Amino acid sequence: MSSTSKDLPADRQGKPAPGLSRVLLVEDDAILAMALEDALLRAGAGTVTICASVEKTMRELEGELRADAIVLDVHLADRDDGWALAELVTMLGPRPPRIAFSTGSPEAIPASVAALGPVFVKPYDPDDLVAALVEGGKSGLFTILRRTPR
């Protein structure tokens, strides 16, 4: 199931978010998936594709369109190691998609994998996750300076 910002009423459409033209949302909780989808579209994501299983996610990743960002649930209906998808997507070329984890079990993510993106512990505000994805896509001098510890 894919949605685009054009699916939203005009007053809820965000200006295009740089680097978020296509987002894969790997989440098997339908209510959370809809809340995240809404937040992403309001923030200007071009297309959000919801995948409720590792199997569907793999089909999407094998497709022609490349994701700019992936939100990964750790425990899915068909697998308990949804975090393994993060390792896979880092091998998708020189510019892999940004990754954010969405989980009730942050301890289940190996430390080396958790270092690939921010970890959001359920329940959380969907807008916080969206902000992290948008900020993660910025690579200008000011963003680098903001990230540098003082």
- pTM for the complete prediction? 0.79
The DSSP code for 125 is: -
Bridge partners, residue 118, by sequence: none
How many distinct structural domains can be found in the chain?
A: 1
Mean per-residue pLDDT over the chain, rounded: 82
**Contact yes or no for 109/83 (Cβ under 8 A):** yes
pLDDT tens column, 38-55: 999 999 999 999 999 999
CATH of the domain at 85: 3.40.50.2300
pLDDT tens column, 89-132: 888 777 889 999 999 999 989 999 999 999 999 999 999 999 99
- Domain hosting residue 24, numbered range: 2-147
pLDDT category at 8 given cuts 50, 70, 90 is very low
